[in-house]
Amino acid sequence: MFAVISVFAPVGLVVTRMTGNSLHAEFDDALMIHAQALAAQIDQYGGRLTSEIDPKSIEANEAFEIWGNGVVLARSGSLGQRDLVAAKTNHEMSSITLGTEPARQITLRTTARVEDAHEEGSAGPDANPSGAPITVVFARTTTAVDATSTKIARVMIGVGLAGCVVCLVLLLLVVHVGLRPNRDLASTIAGIREADLSARVAKATTATELAPIAERLDEMLGRLAAAFTRERELTAEVAHELRTPLAGLRATIELALDRERPAERYRAALEQSLSITHQTSRVVESLLSLARLDAGQASLDATPIDVDQLVRDAVATIHSRAVERGIQIVTELDAVTLTTDHDKLRIVVTNLLDNAVTYAGAGGELRITLIGGVLRVMNTGCTLTPEQAAHVFDRFWRRDTSRDQAAGHVGIGLALCKKLVELLDGKIDVTVRDGRFTATVMLP
């Protein structure tokens, strides 16, 4: 609205001023024409000046006075005892007051019209053929032109105000119509609830300028829906996985307390309970680690480490389990030193080896190679298809037929490995070929 007024106001002022100036210029031109007409009615016969002006030709709002040869030749009766004051400059316009009204006057200095003296028979040898100088002062009130100027100014103000009102109405209408897509989009967004994030907002607007925003919102809704789905699945999986060890722990304790038993049986029950407790603690620690990684709270403590020695230490932790299952461990480790986080890389390597020895077939092979910054852990006896292997990094994913064979595993080890490797600016991938499951870690 202020922009409209800032445009209309200067334009209105300029037009009003130009119109007023034009009216006053025409008024001054009319004064000049009347003054010249009065001068033309002053005749000279020899050395005598006479006036042929008809007093009835002078309007009530006009006045004049004419001088020649030092005397007043003619004047308006409306002047009374008052005289008009001639300006010093010829054709000069000036503002005066006629009676009580504002007026404009012009001073015209010219010569009288000379009549042919020979035709009249009155001219002598000293006749002045060029005419005697005369001064004509003609005045007219500006009431009419001032009223016209005022009327035009009022009309311009009225037109300007009407234009501002019309522009304001049109502006409000345009804004209302233009913001309709925004209101539709806002209404669609307001109708989305956390219980159902399947709605999309791109279809709710046809405005081209809002399309990128709607698309980004749909992408965000998709991410939110996936996050909410993962949260629900996580809650269900955690409840399921913790229920099993807690149920086992409860059954073991209840069985031990059911009746008096030898000390050896109590000791066995306590050892079994401790094993279940360790298993549950590993699940909780892994979940906490994943939660910190998801929240971006994990930090790196990079130091130069011997990766080959770290792998050897991890192999030592699974050696006894491999021997029990008749699994042959084959290593091919180059001397590799990298600047990385020792603890996080240790967790990755330990989880990969633990996963491999758990899912390897009895009497099979576990091959570990480290060449440059690439670590590969391969185990035989894999029954996963390539399609199923694509899900091994999903949290709590395990093929149902593998649950009994993988006691103690809840399906978050590889998910944790992926998060940690990405934090280390590395890459991890798995492949399945000819019953061999291979996990490849590429470190920077």
The domain covering 302-442 belongs, at the CATH homologous superfamily level, to Histidine kinase-like ATPase, C-terminal domain (3.30.565.10)
Q: pLDDT-derived band of residue 411, with 50, 70 and 90 as boundaries? A: low
pLDDT in tens, 369-404: 999 889 999 999 988 888 888 888 877 666 544 434
CA 139 – CA 107 distance, rounded (Å) = 9
DSSP-derived secondary structure letter, 58:
S
Q: How many residues does the chain have?
A: 444
Q: If you classify domain 208-294 with CATH, what class do you get?
A: mainly alpha
CA 267 to chain centre: 70
Q: pLDDT-derived band of residue 1, with 50, 70 and 90 as boundaries? A: low
pLDDT at position 157: 87
> What's the average model confidence in pLDDT over 142-150?
90
| R_g over Cα of the chain | 55
CATH fit for domain 2-150, picks 3.30.450, 3.40.190, 1.20.1070, 1.10.3470 = 3.30.450
Asked if the domains at 208-294 and 302-442 fall in one CATH topology, the answer is: no
Q: What percent of the chain has pLDDT over 90?
A: 27
Sketch the domain layout of the chain as residue ranges.
2-150, 208-294, 302-442
Name, of 176-180, 215-219, 417-421, 429-433, the range with top average pLDDT: 429-433
> What's the average model confidence in pLDDT over 232-249?
72
pLDDT in tens, 85-142: 988 899 999 999 988 899 999 999 999 888 764 444 444 444 445 788 999 999 999 9
Could you give the strand order of the β-sheet that contains 113-114, starting from the edge strand earlier in sequence? 48-51, 42-45, 113-114
pLDDT at position 300: 81
